[in-house]
Every structure is written in structure tokens, then in C-alpha cells.
Structure 1
Amino acid sequence: MSIASAADRPARVALVEDDAGMRQRIAHAVQGDAGLSLAFEAVTAQQILDWLPGHPVDVLLVDLGLPDRSGLEVIRAARRLQPDCAVMVITIFGDEANMVQAFEAGASGYLLKDGTERDLGLHIRSLRAGGSPMSPIIARQLLRRWQQAGGTAVPGGRGAAPASPA
């Protein structure tokens, strides 16, 4: 009998969110997806940081505005404790400063809480598969930031994109 690969089993998901209603909605969305398994729900940064060392997860969902410390600290610690765990921010903070700090801390996805639950399973599976799900407004901010920094090259390419034929 062969051992199932990570891709053959549901993604193990942990969540840290202090708002009870939002935590319940996110947990419900995760539990309602056959490709996902909710491993743990935390209310505070300390709860998730105490739990993470002995419990490997595939995806960690992090709110930035936690009562005891910033979700950015959770992201940094999670990246140290579980380097293979993909981290996705789920927050109300759509400003550029929080977005940039979250990505610099090690997040690979960034979703705003408005409308999150409907497509959450898809976003988590995409993150686990190597994608970087983000709300459209966050993607626009990243693009604008890159363009303002003089990014005229095609990402991953060798120079400017060729002109399209008319």
C-alpha cells in the first residue's frame, strides 16, 4: 500500500482571527470544502504561536489586526517554525503599507474580508499549489507600486514586452 502524497490529502488549514463572527464564517467555508481540513482555530497570536510548533499545517490564514500583537509577527514566526506552510492574510486592511509589510514578512496571498468566504476554498487550494491569491484591489496596488518603481520589464522576462500586432 502506498503512502498518499500531500496533494492526495485535504490541505490542513489553521486560522487566527479574533472576530468571532468572521472566524466562524471562515471556518465554515474551510469545513465546507472537501479538499480542505480545518486543523485549528485561534483567537490570538499567542494561541497560534503556542500551537504551531507541534502541528504541521499546509496553509495558515492570518488576520493582521489581532488583540495581543500584529499578525505580521505571526507571519514571521510561522515562516520560521514551518517554512513549508503557505501563509495567506485575511484582513480589513487594504492599504499599501500593510500589504507590503505582509508580503515582506512572508505572506504569499492577501485577501480582504469583503466577500472572502465564497471563493475561500479555491483561494486556499491555489495558494497550496504555488499561487498567490489576492483581492483585486491588492493586486492593483502591487502593480502600481511596481510600475512606479520603473518596472518596464515583463516579470520573469528579459526586457519590455513585445508590441502586439495591430
Structure 2
Amino acid sequence: ELEKQKAFENDLILCGLPKNENLDGDKVLSNLCKKLDIKPGEYEDCAKVQLKVMSIANKSVVEQNLFISSAPKLCEAIDTKYREARKNKIPLYASDVHEGSDQKPVYINCHLTGYFQYLAKKARDLKRGGLIKFVWTRGGRVFVRRETNEEIVVVKHPDDLEQFEQ
């Protein structure tokens, strides 16, 4: 499972795009880079970028997501600039990346396999239960920390979370 996740290590997902609109992945990526003040031409892997628009529909969510892959340096720049914007309380809206969309927020997440999505959900459940304080994903890995000054635990297996369940 770790090998499968490594294939997605630097891939990103732009979540929350409008469901009823025909999206042009290249245009959305271009607008995203413009909003985050990134010049894609400065990244040699930009020409190799692969984009895939997928519709997501389940009980709670109906939206489109844009999968951005095969350009690790560009994806890293997008991830870094997005984190800076979030830290500075600068929101990213659907209207910023797609003309004619509403002011609904969109988010950038790491691409996780189903197994690592399960681990992230299990860790978030522990956080909601007050057993741990911090849960985050970065580069396709799931991290947890019980308190601010404690060591960071990389979660690779459900057993890694057992120490926090007590």
C-alpha cells in the first residue's frame, strides 16, 4: 500500500469546483496559478502536468474535483503558496479559478489512496474525540501529534494510532 501511495506522493486535488459547469482543467490550473502568484513556465515539469476533472457525488457532497499530477515541482509550489494563503487568511473561491462560479470555497488536498484516506479519517475521529490535538496530511502521508511539544507520529498502519486510543 505504501508503494501505491508513493505513486501519488506529490499529486494534488482541487476540491469543491461547481458540479453543473463544464470545466477546462488547463484554464482552471492557469487561474489557480495566477491567484497564487505562481508562474508555471518557471517549472520545468509544467509541460508534463496531467489534469483530470472528476465528478464526485455521495450523500453529503456533489462537486467536481481537479486532479493535478506528474509535475512534482509545480504541485509543491502550488501546495506551498496555498498553505501561505491559508495561513494569511486569504480564501480561495471557485470564482477565483473558474469564471462564472460562485463564492463557494475550494480547497487543495494531497491525493491519498483509499487506505490512507481511511487512516486520515481514523486519525480525525481521534482528534474529534479529544484524544489527539493535531492531524494533517502532507506529501501523501498522514501525521498526528498528541500535544504541541510532543513528537510527530507518521501513520502508516492502524496500529500506529492505537497508542492514542488509551
Higher helix share: 1
Q: What interval of TM-score do these two structures reach, taking the shorter chain for normalisation?
A: under 0.3
Q: TM-score, normalised by structure 1?
A: 0.28
Q: TM-score, normalised by structure 2?
A: 0.28
